[in-house]
Amino acid sequence: MAKNKTPNQNKDKQSPPDLFEMARQGQEAFAEILKSTTATATAAFDPLNLTGSFVEASKSLASDPSKLVQANLDLWQEHMKLWQHATQRLAGEESEPVATPEKGDRRFKHARWSEDQMFDLIKQSYLITSRWLLNTMENLTDLDKKDAQKVSFYTRQFVDAFSPSNFALTNPEVLEATLNSKGENLVRGMDNLKRDIAEGGGNLKIAMTDKDAFEVGVNLATTPGQVVYQNEIMQLIQYEPSTKKVRKRPLLIVPPWINKYYILDLKPENSFVKWIVDQGYTVFLVSWANPDESLAEKTFEDYMQQGIIDACDAIEKATGCDEMTAIGYCIGGTLMAATLAYMAAIGDERIKAVTFFTAQVDFSEPGDLGVFIDEHQLDSLDKRMAEKGYLEAGDMYTTFNMLRSNDLIWSFYVNNYLLGKDPLQFDLLYWNGDSTNMPRETHMYYLRECYLHNNLVKPGALVLKGVPIDLSKINIPVYLQSSKEDHIAPYHSVFKLRKNVSGPVRFMLAGSGHIAGVVNHPDANKYQYWINEDQPDNLDEWIEGAEEHPGSWWPDWNKWLAKQSGAKKTEARKPGDGKLKPIEAAPGSFVKA
């Protein structure tokens, strides 16, 4: 059987693929998927709690027959327009398409989707029908908010899955590759499928990048530094200074423990950590442990104490400075907000200013992740986590990929299995696949108290280490970053933090999404950001008066942080200069687990 040949290799010597061998491989691959699915199935018949939502949707459709009839009439009329368009094109006449892909939809970028009349008809028919289905299900006005969100989200998953681009016989690029390579693309695709099933331990884990092209500490996470402190759940990295003088207050960065920290320290040319070190700050960063059974009982309180507070203690010992600034990213920002309220309540004023990257504290409008949160689903999840004491990394990986299924699932499905190509070398996607486990106690507390009950913004509803949490006690300066296309922490949800804290807040809206909206090096000259210098409390007013600026927001943030950090007059602090001695070189061992 041919192994990873390109279509042009040995073109004259190629023979037709062994169809029986391809069928056998396909049977083996899907047998493995079926086997793993059966083995991991839970006792719950409906772990995603979809039945009730779709039953209510069916009732809503049936309750207003005239509305359903009108929707079907609209669909019929659109298809009649499409047939008229197709007939005109067949006759050689110019005709404007009835339906076109949305901006950024890369499924139909191949030229034949537009140039070939048959594939153009297939494409437009799909777009018309899928939009009709989505609009019909999204306009059910008598559903409650949670049911409506579920119905909309899973209808979109269905629509995305059945795109003609996902099937070999209706994808012109796949057909072209199959003819040119005499089916070698499908043979390679089957090999890739078997490889990805093996990589996922029996579950399909679609390869998004060439894993062999990257290694943490070699060409990722290479900013020089030392681990100067560690405990059960984190290592604290202090980075080597790159300037002779630094600002007085050191900076503590707390990333999410859902992923590994080096999203902020990818390659040198897009490393946030390297850039901020080069601006003259003493930078410390938390590298979380990848939990196993031994950390199953670790609580949200433990992450607060052993994560942020222990880090503050260590920074004080390492630098001799009892004042610092901090960053909390995503769930690390949620933890940071709770910790700052706790510290304020007990009189701990060491953190003098804080930055939040795409972090939510008010979960009343949590974004697409909210579709996975209700009592039934959390009970089902808790039972699964009880078996090992943690949520396996692959579960979170799949969940986040579903939020952008066309980009993070189906595009790779087509590339890897239908086109038979190997994935490209992409550092961001390597990080995306290097996910972590979630400790049971901490994860369930976070989901129930924040997502389900929204208790973090209710004064006194959360009690950490015996102290009622009240975010209004946070009266230090805040820089609040959000991203315009963020599906995980929508900017309108992030904005709500302004109303929960008492200190001055500089809200900023960046272009792009949850990751690229944060990791946007100024040298890249990509995207843009918006600032309203008046900083009104109403989001609509803020957006109306916001000014767009090209490129990265990092320089704007640096100007703000410099004012909070003191003059650049302190001799550069090297790891080991203070009371803490280096344990091991960065990136440390925790991030490699």
Whether residue 252 contacts residue 325, with contact meaning beta carbons closer than 8 Å, is answered with yes
> At 96, which helix (H) or strand (E)?
none
Using CA atoms of 124, 127, 129, 132 in order, give the dihedral in degrees to the nearest 10: -130
Is the C-alpha dihedral spanning 214, 216, 220, 222 positive or negative? negative
Alpha helices in 200-356 (DSSP H): 272-278, 300-302, 310-319, 331-346
What single DSSP character describes residue 258?
S
3-state helix, strand, coil in the chain (%, to 5): 50, 10, 40
CA dihedral 274, 278, 284, 288 (to 10 degrees): -10
Q: Which of 312, 321, 330, 450 is catalytic?
A: 330
Kind of pairing between the strands at 225-230 and 251-254: unpaired
Q: What is the CA radius of gyration of the chain?
A: 26
Is the four-CA dihedral 389, 332, 580, 323 of positive or negative sign?
negative
For residues 268 and 273, give the distance between their C-alpha atoms in angstroms, rounded to a whole number. Answer: 9
Q: Token pair of 549, please?
A: 């600026």
Read off the amino acid at residue 278: D
Is the Cβ–Cβ distance between 276 and 560 less than 8 Å? no
Cα gap 490→258, rounded to integer Å? 18
Q: Which two tokens stand for residue 485?
A: 């296309």
Give the count of beta carbons closer than 10 Å to the beta carbon of residue 151.
Answer: 22
Residue closest to 585 by CA, chosen among 102, 218, 183, 88: 218
> Which residues sit opposite 329 in a β-bridge?
357
Strand partners, 148: none
Least Cα distance to 421 among 114, 86, 162, 191 occurs for 191
Ordered strands of the 234-239 beta sheet: 547-550, 528-531, 505-510, 478-483, 351-357, 324-329, 251-254, 283-288, 234-239, 225-230, 584-585
Whole-angstrom distance, CA of residue 457 vs CA of residue 234? 27
Task: Decide: 308 and 317 in contact? Cβ < 8 Å.
Answer: no
CA distance 443 to 385: 10
Question: CA-to-CA distance for 237 and 217, rounded, in angstroms?
Answer: 13
Active site residue 312: no
Give the Cα separation of 465 and 462 in Å (integer): 10
Q: What are phi and psi of 163, to 5 degrees?
A: -65, 140
Which residues are known to be catalytic?
A: 330
